[in-house]
Amino acid sequence: GAALVAARRGGHITFHGPGQLLAFPVLDLRRRRLPLRAYVAGLEALVLRLCRRLGLRAARALPPPFTGVWMGDSKLCAIGVHCRNHITSHGLALNCCTDLSWFDHIVPCGLEGKGVTSLSHELGQHVAVSHVLEPFLNSFQEVFDCTLVSSEDPG
């Protein structure tokens, strides 16, 4: 019941669907003087900062090959980045109120024996993407020391 699409990014198979906050930043890492691994660590740091804001103190990042943000043995946020000529594409998928049963059909991120979780599951209440978008963007600005400008902003 889902389409399978090949993507040029790090990591193995994952699921993208409703209830996920998908962020695909396009950055010139050379301009930011940021190595690729430091960029991935920055993505993890911004999700960890968001988790702290929401009260999930147990969220953590693990060393490769366990890229992303974890709650125990369950992945909360998957990260898969592609970089060409120092320009990033793809990014992260944070499970907010995702139907986790989709992950039963795959081995998420190619990691046998690991689970998948969501903010809603961990916090015991419905957490919509719209609820976390502003604190996510604030965390992005703080971690990457930048100012985000909406395409809807005049000028």
Of the residues 51, 96, 97, 109, only one is catalytic, namely: 109
3 appears as a binding residue in the annotation = no
Residue 24: inside a domain? yes
Q: Given this model, what pLDDT does residue 54 score?
A: 96
Residue 146: inside a domain? no
Residue 118: inside a domain? yes
Please provide the DSSP assignment of 32-81 as one string.
HT--HHHHHHHHHHHHHHHHHHHT-TT-B---TTS-SEEETTEEEEEEEE
Work out how many domains the chain is built from and give that number.
1
Residue 155: inside a domain? no
pLDDT of 155 strictly over 60: no
CATH of the domain at 72: 3.30.930.10
Give the domain range for residue 66: 20-141
Residue 153: inside a domain? no
Active site residue 97: no
Residue 6: inside a domain? no
Q: Given this model, what pLDDT does residue 101 score?
A: 78
Residues 4-29: tens digit of each pLDDT: 666 655 556 676 778 999 999 999 99
Residues 84-138: tens digit of each pLDDT: 999 998 889 999 999 887 777 665 565 667 788 999 999 999 999 999 999 999 9
131 appears as a binding residue in the annotation = no
9 appears as a binding residue in the annotation = yes
Residue 135: inside a domain? yes
In angstroms, what is the C-alpha Rg of the chain? Answer: 15
Residue 11: inside a domain? no
Report the predicted TM-score, pTM, of the whole model to 2 decimal places.
0.86
When pLDDT is averaged across residues 50-59 and rounded to a whole number, the result is 96
